[in-house]
Structure 1
């Protein structure tokens, strides 16, 4: 609004602030159905047109404080109802056409690291916002699951489904043929072939496989990791 009022004359922007404030206070809000000024004081701010003729002061100021207090309480209840109705409409609009994700035990998922729950991994904006893949240990209900989360994270392993992204695994054309890495053949490994960016969990597993490779004398690690490009 300030940009539209100035029309390029930015040197005198502070002179327009009282008019901008008045406009914001008087405009009817979409959610509350009344202006912000009326929410607080119970009436709209007066304009020059309201002073011709002078308005009845009893409409704006009650002699009895109790009746005025009751009026404001009823007004706030009305605003609260409007806000709840708007929230319901917004939630319905966002959930329209959205598919519910259901995971079963043994599924693999990427985990979104929320800043309030993982302050250390998210202390830098350059750090990854997700990690994984992690395996689902238990399905508590359609919204809550327990993951096979390493203890060094220092948090409980129960998460909301909104923090998950399904792990797609590997493509058929990329399926390894080595007996030690192909779960469809006898003697194969049951763990998934991890495909995606190298996360902290993947790096830890790679190091574990390399250590195992050194001690067992195998020619290839049991878990293969590949890079994928992101568009």
Structure 2
């Protein structure tokens, strides 16, 4: 669990993102709202939470809360193979996705979060060779453009076809960027690991 801070404040007064990763499926749940409202509601209480040593996670309140709820707090260290820097990978991927999707409308990034979350969770993970969605739910998600090929004799809207091609290309670009960034990140991390 981690936070991405220092984002431009949106019209809805959001300026940070809370990132929570399921260690098994690598499912990235990217929410700006409270952990309990969005995570516990959908998945229940975690048996353990891994986070960095940020003061938000090491405070007396935080430790007391999780102790009372029976959740064990674990803290990561840099380049630790058991943690695998999953949150940092998701943070980097999220940053790249948001930059790709938001463009110059910097104060609307919070509206893009659901699309970025879907793109991340439906992309194949290098470690598992499956998407986080597929691991968590047992099937690959239907994507907006998983369409049956249209009969060439049926009249279609050129604008609709153009838009569908644009979204399809956008999804492919996002997928390619995630794969590229993950490969670069792996190279950097591998340089710091001992043989």
Shared topology, TM-score over 0.5?
Answer: no
Instruction: Give me the TM-score of the superposition, normalised by structure 2.
Output: 0.27
The structure in which a higher percent of residues are helix is 2
Higher relative CO (Cα under 8 Å, sequence separation at least 6) belongs to 2
